[in-house]
Structure 1
Amino acid sequence: MNPQGERWTTDQVLALAPDDSSRKAGGKLAAPGPWSGTGTDDGAVWGQCKGSGKKPYQAVVDVKGPAFRCSCPSRKFPCKHALGLLLLWAGGDGAVEAGEPPEWAGVWLAGRRERAGQRADAAPGGSPAARAPADPEAARRRADRRAQRIAAGAADLEQRLEDLLRSGLATAGRAAQGTSRSGGAGSGGGSWEETAARMVDAQAPGLAGRVRELGAVVSSGADWPARLLEECALLHLLDQGFLGVERLPAPLAATVRSRVGLTTDAADLLTGPEAATFRDRWLSLAQHDSDDGRLTTRRIYLRGERSGRMALHLSFGAAGRPLDSALPPGLVLDADLAYYPGARPLRAALGARHAPAAPGPVPPGCGIDAALAAYGDALRDDPWLDSWPVVLADVTPIPAADGTRWQLADADGESALPLDPRALGRPGLWQPAAISGGAPVTVFGECGHRGFLPLTVWDPTPVSL
């Protein structure tokens, strides 16, 4: 990496912060005062930050990952020292000069590069021994046993849905609290959580998640019976799809399997006998982390510069533990991707990287009508899809006519797309309007049946919302 020509912007650094307090604390350390021994070379930044103790904290960042290490006791990742160091480096005012890393930083960087070389051996074209399957016959037997358990769980769920509809949707409220006397979500008066637990036992986490969503719909608004019926219909469709998956076209069968919780291993996508990688320059459109208390999920949306294809890279980690993959919005990565199978492929595994990430341009976008059409096309292939990623160009945030919601309007004012109600609880909801100032902007987000959920806006550099 050219440390002068490919520095990150401040917004790209702040997009890595785990929370607002980390952004503020990192910002206070974005000055030369507390730092000593700072430096940068091809893909790394390091420095020592004065803290409350006698010894300064040692922070080093592998910008190519990016990945972070700091000697401070913070459980946040990246910590305020890593953020402050990156902000200092991003300023480009000479505070962080090119040089050779000290031993403490060099050892960590060398270890990362060694592990990267080992992963490259396992990639297509690498060591055949590294790609050899352990025991394909044993893996097939395990897959068959799991498919049988899921099929039994789906059949049980079908009976519970039938009992619910026979008893009437009015009983769903009592079933949600585990107090149904007439069967509710299934014989025996079980609650939605109990039904979800049965799906977990059947090794069908996708079905379990949808059952929990049914429980959340009950008594959640004036129209909850209609919405509950819609969700029950989609769940019934998924059950029937899995019970007859052998009769489905291969792409749709792959979608059904993934929806119930059967996934393909990323290594198989990248190195298996049917591996098909797709190389492009991938622009990071958004990076969003969510934490349910047990698992941290990172979603990175990408767009191919040459192909125009959308991709979603997911990574997971235990709550409070660092995630390895990070790519702030606005960076371009020349890399191979392998799409997971499905009727409308979106999720992808990241393969070999051919160059360090570098700042990219503002992505091209479409109008609101085209965005709705793209979501409709995707929904036709995957009826369980909640939303589809789109880039909207030349849209202006304006209040809705009733004054209770915001919407994005086309430049000609003829089409408008309401914001997803989930956006109302996001602290950055005001940012699109503030950045726009009444002028058209480029916005990336998820377009779905709830509306549009904005994730990144360009002005002209990306700002995460």
Structure 2
Amino acid sequence: MNQQGVRWTAEQVLALAPDDSSRRAGSKLGAAGPWSGAGSSGSGAVWGLCRGSGSKPYQTIVDTTGPAYKCSCPSRKFPCKHALGLLLLWAGDEETVRDSEVPDWADEWLAGRRKRAAETGERGPGEGQSARTADPEAARRRAERRAGRITAGATELEQRLADLMRGGLASAEQAGYGLWEETAARMVDAQAPGLAGRVRELGAIPGSGPGWPVRLLEESALVHLLDRAWLDVQRLPEPLAAAVRTRIGLTAPAEGPAVRDDWLVLAQYDTTDGKITTRHIWLHGRETGRTALLLSFGAAGRAPQMALPAGLMIDAELMAYGGAGQLRADLGEQFGAPVPIKAPPPGGSTADALAAYGAALREDPWLDSWPVTLSGVIPVQGHDGWQLADADGRSALPVAPVALSRPGLWKLVAVSGGGPVTVFGEFGHRGFAPLAAWSDETPETVTLT
């Protein structure tokens, strides 16, 4: 890969912003006026001095291979508005941000990052772990105690579902949300956050509009299936057992082995439950053909620090987690700076998407959606709403309700112009949620989130 001299687009830079206010403030600093001493290096570093309200300018540096940020301003946001402005300047003004020698103040921080990366890479298995996790017997006893609490919680939840079925679904609307929230709190006490989340979803269904009894019955059946799977987890095949433990909320480290590839960054978007912000980053291996999901988390009001703008490609290692499908992974060592994607990932038809989701459901019955790339599809609006139809008109997938409220749907229509496009997204029982698109006339990645 020849990565070093390629600069990002303004859209890719703004995708890093932690919130709208940072995006607006960073855009104002994307011109040469407040900057001096700006430069970049072939190793992926960008730096500059930004004039502020004080007598000393802010020292701002970005390592695009992370990306990682350092600024002398007091902001607690990552990246801050100065880092965003610097990257926008770098993306659009090669005369102001030229390749040059790294100044001492920037090189000191970069050297520290290189040293920490080397130390992490040289650490042997088990090093850096706490004494508590280093004691396998103590870890086994803790796991047994937690499993016992989860079993008690799952048993109690089974009783709650049985009461619901016995009293009829109409009783759920009369009982209100409070009883479900109390049940969810008990699942949290049982250290089963996955079950707690599903219980809260059950509580929200009676107020979700027409057709809620059917949705409540469907979700109750899935929760019951998860309960029963946990209570008999020792009898399940290991891939399915690993999926059950993950759905319950038990975490395990990425198992590896490390897989190095040129990973296409297909999409990045955030979700929040009011307490935790979760960042989803979808990758596709150009050589291996594997699709991987990176997750990072931030406390309420703060964006996760990991950020990889869609439309870039990184030469890196990933370590996969266990469980059915093994989609989730951790990002390991990166080799060089990210570069723009030159071509979209290979795609298939809508029938191929249906087959892929069906196969994934056999491995993980609680799967809400599956990542797929559609090629040669056209967004069309029919009597039943928006669809993505194969160019031959033989088959189509409905657009998921979550995507109807996003501006990305209209971006997709504009990119298509009535012609076939390649679209990456998540397909599940609620429909297809498009996240990125490519066309022959617009070869660069168009983000739809």
Structure 1 residues 333-381: Cα deviation after superposition (integer angstroms, max 9, x where no partner) = 2222222111222111222333432222222211211112111111121
Q: Is the 8 A contact 1:65 1:324 kept in 2?
A: no
Task: Kindly indicate whether residue 117 of structure 2 is the aligned counterpart of residue 113 of structure 1.
Answer: no
Which letter does structure 2 place at the counterpart of 1:96? V
| Cα offset, 1:231, TM superposition | 0.7
Partner of 2:166: 166
- Structure 2: stretches of 5+ with no match in the other structure: none
What SS class does the counterpart of residue 327 from structure 1 fall into?
coil
Task: Kindly indicate whether residue 6 of structure 2 is the aligned counterpart of residue 6 of structure 1.
Answer: yes
| Cα offset, 1:14, TM superposition | 2.2
Between 197-206 and 340-349, report the one with greater CA deviation. 340-349
Between the aligned partners of 1:104 and 1:355, the Cα distance in structure 2 is 22
Between the aligned partners of 2:314 and 2:233, the Cα distance in structure 1 is 37
Q: Is the 8 A contact 1:407 1:417 kept in 2?
A: yes
Task: Kindly indicate whether residue 230 of structure 2 is the aligned counterpart of residue 247 of structure 1.
Answer: no
Task: Kindly indicate whether residue 404 of structure 2 is the aligned counterpart of residue 424 of structure 1.
Answer: yes
| Cα offset, 1:104, TM superposition | 3.1
- Cα RMSD after superposing both structures: 2.2
Task: With the length of structure 2 as denominator, give the TM-score of the two structures.
Answer: 0.92
Which letter does structure 2 place at the counterpart of 1:145? R
What SS class does the counterpart of residue 235 from structure 1 fall into?
helix
| Cα offset, 1:3, TM superposition | 7.8
Structure 1 residues 251-310: Cα deviation after superposition (integer angstroms, max 9, x where no partner) = 1111111100011024xx2xxxxx422222211111112233422211111111112111
Q: Is the 8 A contact 1:3 1:98 kept in 2?
A: no
What SS class does the counterpart of residue 60 from structure 2 fall into?
strand
Partner of 2:290: 309
What SS class does the counterpart of residue 141 from structure 1 fall into?
helix
Partner of 1:345: 326
| Cα offset, 1:2, TM superposition | 7.1
| Cα offset, 1:36, TM superposition | 0.7
Structure 1 residues 387-413: Cα deviation after superposition (integer angstroms, max 9, x where no partner) = 0011122222222235xx322222222
- Structure 1: stretches of 5+ with no match in the other structure: 179-190, 270-274
Between the aligned partners of 1:121 and 1:318, the Cα distance in structure 2 is 31
Task: With the length of structure 1 as denominator, give the TM-score of the two structures.
Answer: 0.89
Between the aligned partners of 1:439 and 1:281, the Cα distance in structure 2 is 29
1:452 to 432, 441, 444: 432
| Cα offset, 1:108, TM superposition | 2.2
Between the aligned partners of 1:428 and 1:49, the Cα distance in structure 2 is 34
What SS class does the counterpart of residue 409 from structure 2 fall into?
coil
Q: Is the 8 A contact 1:15 1:464 kept in 2?
A: no
Between 66-75 and 167-176, report the one with greater CA deviation. 66-75
Q: Is the 8 A contact 2:370 2:427 kept in 1?
A: yes
What SS class does the counterpart of residue 306 from structure 1 fall into?
coil
| Cα offset, 1:225, TM superposition | 0.8
User: Identity percentage over the alignment?
Assistant: 64
Partner of 2:49: 48
What SS class does the counterpart of residue 429 from structure 1 fall into?
helix
Partner of 1:263: 251
Q: How does 1:359-374 map to 2 (within 5 A)?
A: 359-361=340-342, 362-374=344-356
Task: Kindly indicate whether residue 445 of structure 2 is the aligned counterpart of residue 462 of structure 1.
Answer: yes
Partner of 1:437: 417
Between the aligned partners of 1:59 and 1:39, the Cα distance in structure 2 is 11
Between the aligned partners of 1:177 and 1:353, the Cα distance in structure 2 is 46
Q: Is the 8 A contact 1:121 1:130 kept in 2?
A: no
Partner of 2:374: 392
Between the aligned partners of 2:145 and 2:279, the Cα distance in structure 1 is 30
Between the aligned partners of 1:81 and 1:200, the Cα distance in structure 2 is 40
Q: Is the 8 A contact 2:65 2:334 kept in 1?
A: no
1:280 to 261, 273, 278: 261
